[in-house]
Amino acid sequence: MDIQTDSGKLKKSKRIGMSGRESFRKFKNSYQLVILFIPCFIYYVMFVYIPMYGISISFMDFRPFRGFAGSNWVGLKHYARFFTDSYSLTLVRNTFLLSFYDLIFGFTLTIVFALLVNEIRFTKVKRTFQTITYLPHFISVVVVVGMLKSFLNPDGGMLFSVLQLFGMPRTDIFIHAQYFRTLYVSSGIWQSIGWNAIIYYAAMAGIDPELYEAAAIDGATRFQRAIHVTLACIKPTIIILLILRMGSILTVGFDKAYLMQTVTTTSVSEILNTFVYSQGIAGNQMSYASAVGVFNSVINCLFLLAANFIAKKTTERSLF
């Protein structure tokens, strides 16, 4: 019995030794990849994981000159303040609606746009069109908002002159709350649709041409091939991107919302990120702003987990 036990321990130690040697051999054969990974690892440790300690600010009355050690702990005081504030519901609603409209229209139109561009048969025209459509992604948000204000200027703005042909009254659109969400979402689609479609182009490039030939032989039209071949083949990519998008459902760009915001549109333009800025930076209430930011991150995480769970159960595709 003792001999068998010793023999089992010996075999186990040999397996561990072989596993260690195998791991070292794999590391040795791919050390270039490890070297390339090190800067990324350092970046995330320094600027993502270490700053997570700052979450503790939301549980104290933080004073910058006192630091973490000298500030008083107050528990869930700031969270209770946010949850009991009647304005918090407005903030969440405004943030969610902007993100939801962008998801419904922006995410869907990007897929449709990629399918349409993929149907262009002339390679030079196709590449030129792709280049033109993703160039707006590189325009600064400040410049985009400036362009909107210039083009929609009621005193001779180019786009406003066109809108007047359709009965649009001469008015400053930026001071009317009912136009804010439309301007925000539509300008975002214009700026990002070409860039976001690139990943779909890559997925479409990997589709086997024989699938299209087989569908054509079966009598499928170009529209049917686009739906039943192209769209079906990029479905896994769509699901993964949708899950990732759900993970930022309450993360709406601060810079654009802040630049487009006016006194008369705060009822729809004040979102969680602009509120964090106004309370934390302008109002010097860092602890309260930090609590709102943590709440935002927790909700995003819950949406991500829920979307991943639903996708895994219904399509067997998920992030984890």
Specify the amino acid at residue 125.
V
Token representation of residue 117 = 């561009």
Whether residues 124 and 243 fall in one domain: yes
Specify the amino acid at residue 20.
G
| N-terminal to C-terminal alpha carbon distance within the chain | 44
How far apart, in whole angstroms, are the C-alpha atoms of residue 91 and residue 21?
56
Residue 24 vs residues 33, 65, 90: alpha-carbon distances, Å: 14, 48, 56
Whether residues 46 and 171 fall in one domain: no
Whether residues 89 and 123 fall in one domain: yes
Q: What is the DSSP letter of 73?
A: E
Whether residues 162 and 256 fall in one domain: yes
pTM (2 d.p.)? 0.81
Residue 300 vs residues 121, 137, 245, 293, 294: alpha-carbon distances, Å: 40, 24, 10, 11, 10
Helix axes 235-246, 198-205, angle to 10 degrees: 150
Residues of the chain with pLDDT under 50: 1-5, 9-12, 14, 16-18
Q: Is 168 inside any structural domain? A: yes
Backbone angles phi, psi at 73, to 5 degrees: -80, 135
pLDDT given at position 157? 67
Q: What is the DSSP letter of 45?
A: I
pLDDT given at position 176? 85
How far apart, in whole angstroms, are the C-alpha atoms of residue 155 and residue 161?
9
Per the structure, the complete domain to which residue 157 belongs is given by 79-315
User: How many residues belong to the chain?
Assistant: 320
Q: Is 7 inside any structural domain? A: no
pLDDT given at position 170? 72
Whether residues 212 and 131 fall in one domain: yes
Token representation of residue 152 = 């929609």
Whether residues 128 and 277 fall in one domain: yes
Q: Which of 8, 39, 54 is the last residue of a domain?
A: 54
pLDDT given at position 75? 87
Whether residues 250 and 124 fall in one domain: yes
Whether residues 194 and 105 fall in one domain: yes
Whether residues 39 and 127 fall in one domain: no
Q: Is 194 inside any structural domain? A: yes
Name every residue whose Cβ is closer than 8 Å to that of residue 275 and which is 6 or more positions away in sequence: 91, 289, 292
Q: Is 142 inside any structural domain? A: yes
Q: Is 67 inside any structural domain? A: no
Whether residues 307 and 164 fall in one domain: yes
Give the rounded distance of the alpha carbon of 233 from its chain centre.
Answer: 23
Q: Evaluate whether 188 touches 127 at the Cβ level (below 8 Å).
A: no
Which helix (DSSP H) or strand (DSSP E) does residue 128 occupy? helix 123-134
Specify the amino acid at residue 279.
Q
Whether residues 22 and 88 fall in one domain: no
Whether residues 102 and 209 fall in one domain: yes
Q: Evaluate whether 193 touches 106 at the Cβ level (below 8 Å).
A: yes
Q: Is 116 inside any structural domain? A: yes
Q: Evaluate whether 199 touches 240 at the Cβ level (below 8 Å).
A: no
What's the domain count of the chain? 2
Of the candidates 214, 226, 210, the one whose C-alpha atom is nearest the C-alpha of residue 114 is 226
Q: Is 10 inside any structural domain? A: no
Provide the β-strand partners of residue 60: 73
Q: Is 152 inside any structural domain? A: yes
Of the candidates 266, 283, 251, 302, the one whose C-alpha atom is nearest the C-alpha of residue 99 is 251
How far apart, in whole angstroms, are the C-alpha atoms of residue 249 and residue 84?
22
pLDDT given at position 156? 66
The CATH code of the domain that includes 108 is: 1.10.3720.10
Q: What is the DSSP letter of 103?
A: I
DSSP string, 242-265: HHHHHTTTT---HHHHHHH--GGG
Name every residue whose Cβ is closer than 8 Å to that of residue 132 and which is 6 or more positions away in sequence: 194
For 271-283, the pLDDT digits (tens) are 998 998 888 888 8
